[in-house]
Amino acid sequence: MTDPARTEMTGKVALSDTEWRAKLTPEQYRITRQHGTERAGSSPLNGEKRRGMFQCVCCGAPLFSSLAKFDSGTGWPSFDRPLEETAVSEHADRSLFVQRTEVRCARCEAHLGHVFADGPHATTGLRYCINGAALSFKPEDKLEGA
């Protein structure tokens, strides 16, 4: 009855530190596994305007649709909502002496960025400020079955 492939698709992904290091570039590792932040404007995904899906660079989980992307002018890819509420998890972060809300991939706990309440008023009012290095982009014409 249990389909192993399906379990792997829906279950959590938990690799050891060594395994993540081997799988990711040093910059991807620093940001997603050590809660780093990329330099503003450094990600090529800032200017990505094609339709498609932004996926977790660590585990491939679909996280943000291009339809939710907007130009925030901050230098980080910004979205007004995750693909699904369950795609990301949110955690209180006091590391800069201000209350911020950290956003992680719900499947593998990768640090993605933070969510702020200064997003577009016309939609959700939220701004998911995400490190481009935590994402990989799949253009719509390369998505299977979408």
Please tell me whether residue 135 binds Zn ion under the rule CB under 5 A: no
Structure tokens at 16: 């050891």
Measured from the Cβ of residue 86, the count of other Cβ atoms closer than 10 Å reads 9
Q: What amino acid occupies position 140? A: E
Among 56, 105, 108, 129, which one carries the catalytic annotation? 129
Q: Is residue 28 within a helix (H) or strand (E), and if so which, with residue range?
A: helix 26-34
Applying CB under 5 A, which of residues 105, 129, 133, 134 lies at the interface with Zn ion? 105
**Considering beta carbons, is residue 107 or 114 the nearer one to Zn ion?**
107
Distance CA 15, CA 24 (A): 12
Judged by CB under 5 A, the chain residues 38 through 67 that form the site for Zn ion are: 56, 58-59, 61
Residues annotated as catalytic are: 129
Query: Which residues would be at the binding site for Zn ion (CB under 5 A)?
Result: 56, 58-59, 61, 105, 107-108, 110
